[in-house]
Amino acid sequence: MSKLSITLPPLAPDYSGAASSLFDLGGMIVIHDASGCTGNYVGYEEPRWFNAKTPVFCSGLRHMDAILGTDDVFVERILAAADSLKPRFIAILGSPVPMIIGTDFKGLAKDIESRTGIPCFGVATNGLHYYGTGFNQAIIPLVKRLAMKVEDKMQSDSSVVQGKHEKNNAAHRGVNILGVTPIDFSLEHNDEDFKNLFASNGIPVIANFCMGLSLDDVAHSSSAQLNVVVSQSGVETALFMYREYGIPFTVQTPVADAHALLFHVQRFLCGKIAHEQNGFVPFPIKESADTGKKILIAGDQVISLSIRNYFREKGCNADVRVASLFDTTPFLLESSDYAIKHEKQLRTILRDEHFAAVIADPLVLQLVKTQGTKCVPVYHSGVSGRISWNMCPRFMSREFENVLNKVIGWA
């Protein structure tokens, strides 16, 4: 019973992350479920759905379908929809029941692709993991299939010398941005701000995974010189792209003016800093004295540690800790950070540690019971869903910078 959530809602699951990552790419998304998972995604975790034309279908899985294994009916429905819509690709996503009955998503995808000639992906999400896992389950196969291989990149280099493909020429000193999802950043123009940070300073953005992304962007993404990971969702894809294409990565969400991140990226692109063995280019972290006060930032791991880096950059001497509510990357954890497994663990930490301030989604802040702790609401759609669609921060705005500076004043 330790994993029972009394106050917190279910956090955004893997099928939502997978569907969200593919949403802008012109494909047809099919969630194999009884309608609850599809309704959860389009109604509470995808703010783009209400004003977009992207087809997101539910298979309408029923008890007898699960018992009798009527996959042929499911396949025929997909074929009919594909014949009508002519999507650029088809993605079939899983949910808990297909996991229990052992649905072969790769087999279904291969069958459908052979019968339609349309690229088809089977993504075995199951609703038991967080959205970041689903993001990577969907994006890594897409990149593996579409992005240029090493030999193609060499041909691209040759064509650039001959005066062709100017976009590819820029790519060799450009960046990809990984982990840009509406679940993390909503529709508050964060994706545009992140792109403009680099583009306005002469650094081309090759692919913005995954808002405003196109299949052509994916194809050219392997030509980038650096991946900038702005949420934990992008870490696994960054590791894959280093192994597959040799592209190093750094991890930092642009916060406030983001001058430190821009300078860090510029130094790497100029060859002044190197990457570690796994491709990681560590963001420089300033040491700080300990005033005895403690601050907790609870949410996405990368966004939270980026806020902590901002505090340290501005001279904050509090003991700032990160509580990762979703997927956690071990090598990004500091010794005092927390990888939260369930609500009881978070309740215990908030009760025993006596934080001066807690920065988190308002639904998380309901767990704060200690007197004197200042609560700073930072909405996150992965926690509060549709409630927060119009209330998530614009991370590079002066308004959000003022909020963070007020916390520094308390410390």
Mind giving me the DSSP string for 71-90?
HHHHHHHHHHHHHHH--S-E
Q: What is the mean pLDDT of residues 242-267?
A: 97
Amino acid identity at 33: D
Whole-number average pLDDT of the chain = 92
- Residue 129 Cα distances to 135, 158, 268, 328, 404, angstroms: 11, 43, 34, 12, 31
Q: What is the pLDDT of residues 316-361, one digit of tens each?
A: 999 999 999 999 999 999 999 999 999 999 999 999 999 999 999 9
pLDDT band at 171 (very low <50, low <70, confident <90, very high): very low
Q: The pTM is what? A: 0.93
Q: Is the pLDDT of residue 56 over 80?
A: yes
Between 117-121, 131-135, 283-287, 375-379, the lowest mean confidence (pLDDT) is in 283-287
Rounded CA-CA distance 401/408 in Å is 11
pLDDT band at 9 (very low <50, low <70, confident <90, very high): very high
Q: What is the pLDDT of residue 285?
A: 83
Rounded CA-CA distance 309/289 in Å is 14
Q: What three-state secondary structure class fits 320?
A: strand
Q: What is the pLDDT of residue 152?
A: 58
Q: What is the mean pLDDT of residues 158-165?
A: 42
Q: Which two tokens stand for residue 230?
A: 């702005």
The answer to whether residues 76 and 108 touch, using CB atoms and an 8 Å cutoff, is no
3-state secondary structure 281-313: CCCCCCCCCCCCCEEEEEECHHHHHHHHHHHHH
